[in-house]
């Protein structure tokens, strides 16, 4: 079984147990559920660099990215570095993340928080709102077109913004909803875990201009950002490049300032 299929299978099993313990009615009573979200789309468009920084402890391809840093310090550091937003992994089994990571950083983050998770149900969308997320990630490769439309519509009704991640033109063709704000081209093949930044170059012109366009994964050089900006990309999600260093905050600061100085 491919790793992505295994992650989704495990997530569906986990959701059955979770939704029975914490029903939607309880999620909707949480104080953060009524909070007004910060626009990720606007933050990207108004940011000089358009860079979204990620907090990630581990991944299926790297079991020890960073266990030395505190998430509150990292999120504060990303904000001070000028990040357009912060992406936080909440998947426990494969990334050692948790919904508490967003709850704990919500009060100190003045930039939008993207909940990065393998979302396959409406429960997770409602949960995302209840923990203080500003936007959710939908992965086109694990969802059908109707599911993308249904989940994005629910998200928008709750005030959340939606980032849909694609890897190919076939996945792009699944998108028919007007409830989507950002389309991200993932340069990492989630089946093989191989990275090819040219994937973003190939798909850019095929993405309708109504969406904010961002490139994700495998971005570690200022030159790559400049090349993708020249093509027309407005934002960039950078994950392991900062977290794999001993000081993600300083790494993000130096990288973002170098990008800003070149544009």
Q: What is the set of active-site residues?
A: 54, 56, 116, 165, 186, 216-217
Contact predicate 184/164, CB 8 Å = yes
Question: What is d(CA 103, CA 159) in angstroms, rounded to the nearest whole number?
Answer: 17
Which of 64, 142, 48, 59 minimizes the C-alpha distance to 93? 59
Contact predicate 56/239, CB 8 Å = yes
Report which DSSP code applies to 59: B
Rounded to 5°, angle at Cα 149 from 100 and 214: 65
Question: What is d(CA 129, CA 144) in angstroms, rounded to the nearest whole number?
Answer: 22
Q: Which two tokens stand for residue 196?
A: 């090819």
The long-range contacts involving 93-98, CB below 8 angstroms and separated by at least 24 positions, are: 93/7, 93/10, 93/14, 94/7, 94/10, 94/58, 94/59, 94/60, 95/56, 95/57, 95/58, 95/59, 96/57, 96/58, 97/56, 97/57
Rounded to 5°, angle at Cα 180 from 179 and 184: 175
Q: How many CB atoms lie within 10 A of CB 71?
A: 19
């Amino acid at each position: 079984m491919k790793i992505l299929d295994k992650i989704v299978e495990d997530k569906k099993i986990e959701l059955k147990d979770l939704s029975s313990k914490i029903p939607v009615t309880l999620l909707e009573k949480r104080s953060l559920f009524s909070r007004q979200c910060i626009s990720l789309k606007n933050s990207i468009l108004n940011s000089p660099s358009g860079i979204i920084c990620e907090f990630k402890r581990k991944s299926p391809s790297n079991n020890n990215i960073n266990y030395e840093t505190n998430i509150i310090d990292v999120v504060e550091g990303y904000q001070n570095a000028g990040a357009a937003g912060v992406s936080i992994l909440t998947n426990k089994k494969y990334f050692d993340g948790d919904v508490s990571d967003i709850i704990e950083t919500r009060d100190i983050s003045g930039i939008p928080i993207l909940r990065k998770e393998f979302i396959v149900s409406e429960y997770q969308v409602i949960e995302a709102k209840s923990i203080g997320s500003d936007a959710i990630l939908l992965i086109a490769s694990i969802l059908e077109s109707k599911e993308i439309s249904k989940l994005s519509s629910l998200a928008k009704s709750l005030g959340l913004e939606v980032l849909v991640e694609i890897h190919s033109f076939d996945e792009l063709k699944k998108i028919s909803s007007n409830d989507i704000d950002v389309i991200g081209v993932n340069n990492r093949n989630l089946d093989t875990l191989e990275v090819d930044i040219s994937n973003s170059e190939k798909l850019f012109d095929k993405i309708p201009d109504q969406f904010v366009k961002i490139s994700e994964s495998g971005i570690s050089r200022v030159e790559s950002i400049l090349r993708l900006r020249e093509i027309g990309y407005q934002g960039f999600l950078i994950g392991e490049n900062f977290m794999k260093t001993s000081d993600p905050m300083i790494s993000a600061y130096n990288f973002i300032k170098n990008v800003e100085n070149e544009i």
